[in-house]
Amino acid sequence: MKCRKCPALVTNRNKIVFGAGNIRAQLVFVGEAPGRDEDLQGIPFVGRAGQLLTKIIEAMGMTRREVFICNVLKCRPPQNRPPAPDEVIHCRPYLKEQLRLIAPKIIVALGNHACQALLSTDKGISQLRGSLQEYEGIPVMCTYHPAYLLRNPSEKRKVWEDMKKVIQLLNTPDV
Ligand code: URA
């Protein structure tokens, strides 16, 4: 993949961070965009927020290799600024295709940008958090981004409540 659709991201990036994990995963985590560490390594969620996400996945009884992890944007925005609306539009076909190919049982959307990109809504995370939404027939659990949890550790409890619902859904036999 040598995408050049977003001029500001092409000149700034070291590596495209497409995604990592099991392409047959039942569970996909979608974050916002790569940060510095991710851009250098080409792997999503390997910095501080990523280490917390790894802990969350492990607390759910899984490993990073079992799930799939990706972001709305595949390239790091300069200075970690939020994704620009046109960048989300440019990058959405990649996310869409990833989710179509993996066809997970459930998606966890981490933070505002992931929720809004997947659900095409302008509702904020505080409104969406904890509720099961839907993307192309796949349930989406909206929850807080691990970077937010690093700043607000007392909110971890809510994310754990959300992850318990995700585990329950994963354990529900297909009908
Ligand atoms: N934050 C994200 O949203 N994604 C990453 O890959 C790393 C940090």
138 band by pLDDT with thresholds 50, 70 and 90: very high
CA dihedral (20, 63, 47, 27) positive or negative? positive
Helix/strand/coil percent split, the chain, to 5: 45, 15, 40
Domain containing 29 equals 7-170
On whether residue 2 sits in a domain, the answer given is no
The CB of 83 under 6 Å from ligand 1? The reply is no
CA distance 135 to 156: 25
The chain-wide mean pLDDT, for the chain, equals: 97
Nearby residues of 175 by Cβ (< 8 Å), 6 or more positions away: none
Q: First vs last Cα of the chain: how many Å apart?
A: 37
For a ligand 1 pocket test, name from 18, 28, 29, 45 the mutation site with the most ligand atoms within 8 angstroms of its C-beta.
45
CA 88 – ligand 1 centroid, Å = 15
Order of all β-strands in the sheet with 27-31: 20-21, 68-71, 27-31, 106-110, 138-143, 132-135
On whether residue 57 sits in a domain, the answer given is yes
On whether residue 175 sits in a domain, the answer given is no
Please check the confidence at residue 175 and state whether its pLDDT lies above 80. Answer: no
The CB of 21 under 6 Å from ligand 1? The reply is no
CA 137 – ligand 1 centroid, Å = 25
For the residues 51-65, what does the mean pLDDT come to? 98
The CB of 112 under 6 Å from ligand 1? The reply is no
CATH of residue 139's domain is: 3.40.470.10
On whether residue 104 sits in a domain, the answer given is yes
CA 147, 150, 155 angle in degrees (round to 5)? 100
How many domains does the chain fold into? 1
What is the phi-psi region of residue 161: left when phi exceeds 0, alpha when psi lies from -120 to 50, beta otherwise? alpha
The CB of 44 under 6 Å from ligand 1? The reply is yes
For a ligand 1 pocket test, name from 13, 32, 41, 144 the mutation site with the most ligand atoms within 8 angstroms of its C-beta.
32
For the residues 36-49, what does the mean pLDDT come to? 98
DSSP per position, 9-59: HHHH-SS----EE-TT-SEEEEES---HHHHHHT-SS-SHHHHHHHHHHHH
Please check the confidence at residue 119 and state whether its pLDDT lies above 70. Answer: yes
On whether residue 94 sits in a domain, the answer given is yes
For the residues 78-90, what does the mean pLDDT come to? 97
Helix (H) or strand (E) holding 3: none
Of residues 2 and 129, more confidently modeled? 129
Per-residue model confidence (pLDDT) at position 174 = 78
pLDDT in tens, 140-165: 999 999 999 999 999 999 999 999 99
Please check the confidence at residue 1 and state whether its pLDDT lies above 80. Answer: no
For the residues 1-27, what does the mean pLDDT come to? 96
CA distance 109 to 113: 8
